[in-house]
Amino acid sequence: MLHMTWSHTEFQLGGIVSGLDRWLPRSMTILGAVHLVYGVVESPGVIRDMLADGLVSTADNAERGYVVWFMVSGVALLAVAWMARWAARTVGRMPAALGWWLVVIGALIVITEPVSGGWLVMLLGALTVVAARRAIRAVPQPANV
């Protein structure tokens, strides 16, 4: 495995990069898992009723629709976390675009529901952008010959 050290960033190609690149995917995973657990704990009756009704086409009112989208958001956060971890291990950094998408998603949540986890999503996004920019700056540029 190729080992490289540039200023404060150390990584192995095929391994995880810096502290932010290590902890941001973990934080995204935790937020996704908490989202799912909270959804189950806060809405057990709704989930139980939907399962009892056969699950298919059961998001037929606002409460059930909210629970479905809340749970889907948790799964989506887990998928984003997996992709962020994969990028950090494979490429050596997370893409800045991922961070910007998280900032936009978080902002849309905060605009419509100010007291929410949207702030955490925005924070994770901003830190992802910071991590990506640090990683780009840490890569030595080839000399012009």
Q: Does residue 55 lie within any of the structural domains?
A: yes
Note the pLDDT tens digit of each residue in 109-136: 999 999 999 999 999 999 999 999 887 6
SS3 content of the chain, % helix, strand, coil (to 5): 70, 5, 25
Enclosing domain of residue 54: 16-137
Q: Domain count of the chain?
A: 1
Average pLDDT, the chain: 86
Q: Does residue 3 lie within any of the structural domains?
A: no
Q: What is the pTM of this model?
A: 0.78
Q: Does residue 11 lie within any of the structural domains?
A: no
Q: How many secondary structure helices (H) and strands (E) does the chain include? A: 5, 2
